[in-house]
């Protein structure tokens, strides 16, 4: 059943509120630490801010990637209406994660980022993931979809490479307990596996259709 415009607007409002909730909680805790010196963000507030922003960027990326499989499994076409929104939230949180690293960790010595990118592999792949997200966020509007045509779909397939880089960034960043990055690696593998399986299925159906078409044409001509 198709969602009515009012229901869709209400649902999108709820999704926006849910997506902004982690940021609101983090901002409140950061302000509390700044104002009172509390331990709301643990022993290392800077690391906690960066971690939370980064982990939510990864979560929104995984959710956005899961939209298409969920639509295919449930038949709910309305889910596609939320994919772009979730992808943009992934970019927003990733940008805040990067900004927190520049502002809180490097403390304004922004040129040092190039040294860090060259020296630390986890920063290299993380920065690469953010750079690839940038054109996807810019071209997410209807205007760009019309301008790019088929090239838009090819460009936005970069999201899978971004997912791999983001998981790798998290994996290399964690030095001991790899259970959480392994979980996201498993989710990404399942999503990529589904995509490959659907692509192979579509390819097989296309080959079968191509085989039938010539014989059908000949039969039609003979009649």
pLDDT (average), residues 87-109: 92
What CA–CA distance (Å, rounded) separates 190 from 115? 35
Distance in angstroms between the alpha carbons of the first and the last residue of the chain: 43
Domain segments of the chain as ranges: 5-198
Residue 190: pLDDT over 90: yes
Q: How many CB atoms lie within 10 A of CB 101?
A: 20
The pLDDT tens digits of the residues spanning 137-173 come to: 999 988 998 998 888 888 888 999 999 999 999 999 9
pLDDT digits (tens, 9 = 90+) for 33-86: 988 888 888 889 999 999 999 999 999 999 999 999 999 898 888 898 899 999
- Across 104-140, b (16+ Cβ under 10 Å) vs e yields eeeeeeeeebeeeeeeeebbbbbbbbbebbeebbebb
User: Does the predicted model carry a pTM greater than 0.85?
Assistant: yes
Q: So what's the pLDDT on residue 3?
A: 67
């Amino acid at each position: 059943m198709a969602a009515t415009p009012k229901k869709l607007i209400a649902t999108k409002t709820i999704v926006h509120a849910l997506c902004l909730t982690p940021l609101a909680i983090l901002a409140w805790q950061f302000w509390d630490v700044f104002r009172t010196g509390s331990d709301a963000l643990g022993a290392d507030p800077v690391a906690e801010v960066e971690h939370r922003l980064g982990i939510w960027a990864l979560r929104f990326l995984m959710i956005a990637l899961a939209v298409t499989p969920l639509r295919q499994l449930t038949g709910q076409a309305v889910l596609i209406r939320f994919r772009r929104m979730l992808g943009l939230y992934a970019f927003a949180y990733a940008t805040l994660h990067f900004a927190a690293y520049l502002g809180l960790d490097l403390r304004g010595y922004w040129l040092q980022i190039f040294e860090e990118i060259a020296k630390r592999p986890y920063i290299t792949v993380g920065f690469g993931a953010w750079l690839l997200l940038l054109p996807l966020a810019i071209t997410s509007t209807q205007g760009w979809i019309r301008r790019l045509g088929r090239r838009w779909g090819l460009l936005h397939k970069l999201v899978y490479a971004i997912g791999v880089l983001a998981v790798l960034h998290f994996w290399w960043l964690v030095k001991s307990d790899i259970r959480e990055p392994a979980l996201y690696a498993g989710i990404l593998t399942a999503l990529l596996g589904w995509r490959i399986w659907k692509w192979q299925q579509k390819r097989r159906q296309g080959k079968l259709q191509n085989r039938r078409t010539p014989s059908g044409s000949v039969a039609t001509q003979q009649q």
